[in-house]
Amino acid sequence: MELLRCEHLTKIYGAGETQVTALSDVSFSVEKGEFVSVIGPSGSGKSTLLHILGGVDKPTSGKVFIDGTDMHALKEDGLAVFRRRQIGLVYQFYNLMPVLNVEENIALPHLLDGRELDRERLDAIIEHLGLTDRRYNLPSQLSGGQQQRVSIGRALYSHPAVLLCDEPTGNLDRKTGEEIVGLLKESNRSQKQTLILITHDEALAMQADRILYLEDGKIVKNEVLRHQV
Amino acid sequence: MNNKKIIFHVTRQYMKRNKGRTAVTFTGIALMVMLMTCVFVGKDTVLRYLEKVASLHAGSWHLTVYDIHAEDLSVIKEIDEADKIGFICRQGFTDFPASANKDRPYLEVKAYAPVAFDLVNIHVIQGRLPENEQEIIISETALTDGSSVRIGDVMQAKFFDRSITGINAELSESVFPYFGVSVKYGETVDVPLNFPYYPENGDFRQNKEYRGTSRTYTVVGFMESPSFESEGSAGYPAITILPDNAVLTGGETWNAVMTFRSTDATIPVKGRIEAATSCSTETNNMVLTFSANGSDSVISGITVFIEVFFVVLIIAASLILIYNVFQMSFRERTKYLGLLSSVGATGRQKRFSVYYEAAVLLAAALPTGILLGMGVIKVGLLLLKPHLNKLIEIFQAGRFDDIPVTLSVNVNNLLLVAAFSIFTVMLSALIPAVKMGKIGPVESIRGNVSGGHKRYRSKFRLLGKSGSGVCRLLAVNSTRRLPHLTRGIVRSIAVFGMLTAVTLYGAQSVIRVVNTKLRTNNYLFNLTGYDYVLISDSYHDDLYQSTVERIAKDSAVTQTKEIVDYSFGVDLNGSLLSDEYMRAYEEIVRAYVPSDEAYVQELLQNERDYSHWVMMFGMEDEDFKKLAAAGDADKSIANDPSRPAVLLYRKVELSTDNILISGYHADYHFAEVQNAFRCAVGEELPLIVESSEGNKNVSLTVAGFLDEADLAPYFSVHSERPFAIVNRSAAALIEQAAKTVEEQTVNNGYKYYLFGLKDGEGASLLKELSRKEEQVNGGYHIVSYDAINGEKGFYGAIVSIIRILAYCFTALISTVCLLNLWHSVKGRAVERRREIAMLRSMGMTSRQLRRMLAMENMRMVGTGLLIAAALSSVFMLLLNRVMIAWIGRITLPVPYGLIAGIVIAACVIMALMTLVCYRYSGKESIVEDIRNETV
């Protein structure tokens, strides 16, 4: 079942001589529960693609459908509500709220949606992420790996339709990076969560069901590694 | 490149890269310098300007020395501190046949040294100034009185002095209290220069004692009436030249007017002259008041107090502004200083980096701020000019000479601005620099300098079912857990609230003290919408009644009101005055007589035994009812028009200015009485009404008591006498008691009939009323409402000036505080740009964002105002105690209304600033904001 589809996505920055085309006529679709890696060299447009898919940036032209909704046709507040319900974003630099402790950060999108706090689920996620003894710490008191785990917890807690990860291990050592990818894969498998992972690490990308190769803003290869069961 | 240079180089690069932050800090410092310039240069500019305005009245001289004899002349000429000295020689009176005024048949001729013309403000309005001893100018009043004298006329002057001789053997003594003259039968006494010309009479004779000197003068001009001209005087002022080589001979005396290089010299020189010679002196208080060198110690004290009080507040506000600016960028600075530290920079080098940045910014901001300050003063004065012009009109009484506003820039003031600015900036940079010097590289780079290892329990209890809980959660956490950003705003609000409240309180207190000290009217009408007043004594009752009917019928009249003043005919026995009154009276008495206990007790006993004038006003019954309703009154009494009733104003203000004890001197002391009466509502108040048949007793029922606020719609009262309002039937009782059987010999009340006119209408009515007034010889007048109600003259003008200055300073201090707040809000918004973008990326809607910001504001404003309330209370109490110790028992009302205004202003301003500073959210791409790590 198709969960995400993008059609003819183009993103151009600047104008005139300084104009840069970050994405050029990109189209692809992702099935529900699929794990897709997007790989490409620096400046190939990976992060731009992820931001547009995540609704935090707007395409110059083209459309993105998630679960049948044309995301960028939504008004600003509608898009914000859509984001907090349907999309989980994991950034390379974690982007945690510095004023909230671990458990408040994890629960944030859920709380923004005005939903009742599921204390048991929150405790389970915190325990699963190995952050129990850090739950009352602020992000500045955590290591990079711990911060990234909080950021994954935040993305998972509200059950989004799609999880978008932008170089989630790019800022971590190998061992911690593997732990983080393990967490993401586990979520993808156990929760049937659609996962799109941006990386420039080929070994990491190879763990996905499919790899999209991006070069100069275009998909140059769409390689299926394994089929979903 | 040595190690210090590399630190400075890195600091410069950092400043260039972080243009926004550098600009904010630069602006903060430049504004602080600008405000200091406004205080130091602005103060001098305004005061010099006001001195020029004040000098329009009596001249720019600082000290006048009278009756200088030949042996005193060397003392006067050798005053080192003097800038200019102009001698004046009185030539005497001479007959003035060209006079058209029978009451002014003489010229009073004086010879002025050329410099004295300027110092005494002699303005020629026709012709020119005299150039030699044969030329003369005469006061314009001679012309306006209809004199036939013209420029070019030649006149012979035979000088004489004036005296009077008592010629009525049946009259023991003729007394002229206003002139301090009394003459007995057969006695001859000299009279002062302003003594009027009396027609021939059977009581005394006027004498001319010729001096034996004469001159021939050519009239070369007419001067504007000089300030020393008394309209009741027998002679018109006339001035000729006193040549430089004039000699003061044995029997003669001269006067001298002088200015000093520094006005501070005035009082010491005055003392020296009085000690070394037999001359008397006079200081020009109008001019000297502005430099706190006038002879009235309270007014001079207030001038100094205002300067010190406001300068200290401005410096305090500026200090906090700059400290905030440096403190706000603390976390961001720690990052690059951490990087420096990681490559080996020592704590000292890190501190130097902060000082260097402060010094570089100061070097540029200092001249910018000074120039900006001068510009602001110039623009501010141009805006204030219309108000200042009103003062010129007061001083010049009808004539108007524009005085251009010129900046009074003095090097000492600029050095003071520079010194205070350097001190403020370096002190403000000191604390952040010391803190930064102590932070290790890892904490700096990771940015957890303030967090430490503290753990924060979750605030889920803050979540409500409404969905706004998360906004509260975020608001509470962001205000508590970002203390370096929150404290700046809380500090700014606290300082804004505290300084504005204290400044307002200080300004109001100063105005209250000045009003109390200088006010010449005991009461003022507070009624609005009235343009003219018909005033009549009771001798003209019939004319008054017919005029009132005429006015009431006129279609141009919008509203009317009648008030009757019985102040000079109704007395109250001292035994009816309260213990509080007696204690206050005792305070005043003891200020005069600190050691003679028996005399104090005697004076107190007299006060209890004797009768006291009551300031009593009769009002229309409707107004009486309204006043009763506002005050603490028994409505059954107040609303019964047949019952003679009185409303008593509780307050009385006693001071050494209005209670004089002959033979004693006291420093100024004031004592306010909150409840002056010893009687209760419903009781009968026995009063004594004066009449030509002797005193008569009248009893009125006390309907109630009034406070300042109750009375405010009708009167503002500052009186040492009991003040009361009576209804119609009480008024009738008083009038009846005052009338004699056969004829009315006692004026039983001045009637005031106030009326308003439609715009541009009523000219014919006014003309008719003026004609009636001309036909009556006194006791019946038609005057403009402002003429009877304004505080006129010098002291009224002083109050206006102090009011303008005080409110300008308040506005200035509020502006500094608001700039401070702006910087803090802006700094917080800029530093939270990424955080806000993250929240938006998490799905926060713009409504939720606004709600979160509003909740943050409520917390910060609330905390700031609570701190402000605590600090203001302490400072206001302190100020109150200082004033009371200085002036006496005075109530300095806390301006609750204005304070409420400050609270509302703080909330509104904070909301507006937040709206403007967080404008970026939603405008820029979320990704751009998230990527934007530097501010």
Chain A residue with minimum CA distance to B834: A95
Q: Which residue has the higher pLDDT, A87 or B201?
A: A87
Interface test with A, best of B842, B920, B932 (most A CBs within 10 A): B842
**CB atoms A112 and B842 under 8 Å:** yes
Dihedral pair phi/psi, residue B136, rounded to 5°:
-145, 150
**Does residue B331 contact residue B447 with C-beta atoms inside 8 Å?**
yes
Residue B73 has pLDDT above 50, yes or no: yes
Per-residue model confidence as pLDDT tens digits over B838-889: 888 888 888 889 999 999 999 999 999 999 999 999 989 988 888 888 778 7
Residue B807: band (very low, low, confident or very high) from pLDDT cuts 50, 70, 90: confident
Chain B residue with minimum CA distance to A100: B477
Containing domain of residue A55, as a range?
Answer: 2-224
Residue A29: band (very low, low, confident or very high) from pLDDT cuts 50, 70, 90: very high
Q: What is the mean pLDDT of residues B362-391?
A: 83
Q: Tell me how close the Cα of A146 comes to any Cα of chain B, in angstroms.
A: 14
Q: Which residue has the higher pLDDT, B779 or B60?
A: B60
Query: Across the interface, which of B447, B478, B841 has its CB nearest the CB of A99?
Result: B478
CA distances from B504 to B182, B301, B876 (A): 51, 19, 10
Residue B934: band (very low, low, confident or very high) from pLDDT cuts 50, 70, 90: very low
**CB atoms B925 and A101 under 8 Å:** no
Q: What is the per-residue pLDDT for B795?
A: 60
Query: Across the interface, which of B446, B469, B480 has its CB nearest the CB of A140?
Result: B446
- A217 CB burial (10 A radius; 0-12, 13-18, 19+): buried
Q: Which residues of B touch A (CB under 8 A)?
A: 446-448, 451, 453, 455-460, 463, 466-467, 469-470, 473-474, 477-478, 480-482, 834-835, 838-848, 922, 925-927, 930
Q: Which DSSP letter does residue B72 get?
A: G
Q: Tell me how close the Cα of B835 comes to any Cα of chain A, in angstroms.
A: 6
The domain locations on chain B are 1-57+297-453, 63-283, 460-520+792-935, 522-560+753-790, 567-748
Q: What is the per-residue pLDDT for B159?
A: 93
Q: Is A166 an 8 Å CB contact of chain B?
A: no
Residue A171 has pLDDT above 80, yes or no: no
Q: Which residue has the higher pLDDT, B189 or B337?
A: B189
- Tell me whether residue A32 is in a domain: yes
Q: What is the mean pLDDT of residues B779-783?
A: 81
Query: Across the interface, which of B463, B842, B930 has its CB nearest the CB of A84?
Result: B842
Chain A residue with minimum CA distance to B475: A99
Q: What is the mean pLDDT of residues A95-103?
A: 86
| Number of domains comprising chain A | 1
Q: Tell me how close the Cα of A172 comes to any Cα of chain B, in angstroms.
A: 15
**CB atoms A100 and B844 under 8 Å:** no
Q: What is the per-residue pLDDT for B468?
A: 67
What three-state secondary structure class fits A139? helix
Residue A214: band (very low, low, confident or very high) from pLDDT cuts 50, 70, 90: very high
Q: What is the per-residue pLDDT for B803?
A: 74
Above pLDDT 90, what percent of chain B?
21
Residue A203 has pLDDT above 90, yes or no: no
Bridge partners of A13?
A: A20
Contacts of A108 in chain B (CB under 8 A): 470, 839, 842
Per-residue model confidence as pLDDT tens digits over B622-661: 889 988 998 878 989 989 989 999 999 999 988 887 888 8
Q: What is the mean pLDDT of residues B540-548?
A: 87
Q: What is the per-residue pLDDT for B409?
A: 85
Helix, strand, coil in percent for chain A, rounding step 5: 40, 30, 35
Contacts of B925 in chain A (CB under 8 A): 56-58
Residue B935: band (very low, low, confident or very high) from pLDDT cuts 50, 70, 90: very low
Residue A5 has pLDDT above 80, yes or no: yes
Report the first-to-last Cα separation within chain A, whole angstroms.
12
**CB atoms A58 and B477 under 8 Å:** no
A212: domain CATH number?
Answer: 3.40.50.300
Mean of all residue pLDDT scores within chain B: 82
Residue B45: band (very low, low, confident or very high) from pLDDT cuts 50, 70, 90: confident
Per-residue model confidence as pLDDT tens digits over A107-152: 888 888 888 888 888 888 888 888 889 888 888 888 888 888 898 8
Residue A228 CA neighbour count, 13 Å, CB half: 16
Contacts of A51 in chain B (CB under 8 A): 927
Per-residue model confidence as pLDDT tens digits over B731-776: 888 878 876 544 444 556 788 898 998 888 888 888 888 888 777 7
Chain A residue with minimum CA distance to B453: A141
B555 C-beta neighbours (distance < 10 Å), count: 9
Residue A94 has pLDDT above 90, yes or no: no
Above pLDDT 70, what percent of chain A?
99
Q: What is the mean pLDDT of residues B386-403?
A: 63
Supply the DSSP string of B238-254, one letter for each residue.
EEEE--TT----TT--E
Q: Which DSSP letter does residue A185 get?
A: H
Q: What is the per-residue pLDDT for B742?
A: 46
Q: Tell me how close the Cα of B918 comes to any Cα of chain A, in angstroms.
A: 16
**Does residue B487 contact residue B864 with C-beta atoms inside 8 Å?**
no
Q: What is the per-residue pLDDT for B899?
A: 85
Q: What is the mean pLDDT of residues A193-217?
A: 89
Q: Tell me how close the Cα of A98 comes to any Cα of chain B, in angstroms.
A: 8
Long-range residue pairs from B91-94, CB within 8 A, at least 24 positions apart, any chain = B91/B157, B91/B159, B91/B213, B91/B215, B91/B240, B92/B159, B92/B160, B92/B161, B92/B211, B92/B213, B93/B159, B93/B160, B93/B161, B93/B162, B93/B208, B93/B234, B93/B235, B94/B157, B94/B158, B94/B159, B94/B160
Interface test with B, best of A56, A72, A164 (most B CBs within 10 A): A56
Q: What angle do CA B910, B915, B920 make, to 5 degrees?
A: 135
Contacts of B844 in chain A (CB under 8 A): 80, 84, 112
**Does residue B734 contact residue B569 with C-beta atoms inside 8 Å?**
yes
**Does residue B190 contact residue B163 with C-beta atoms inside 8 Å?**
yes
Above pLDDT 70, what percent of chain B?
87
Residue B198 has pLDDT above 90, yes or no: no
ipTM above 0.90, yes or no: no
What three-state secondary structure class fits B475? helix
Is the pTM higher than 0.95? The answer reads: no
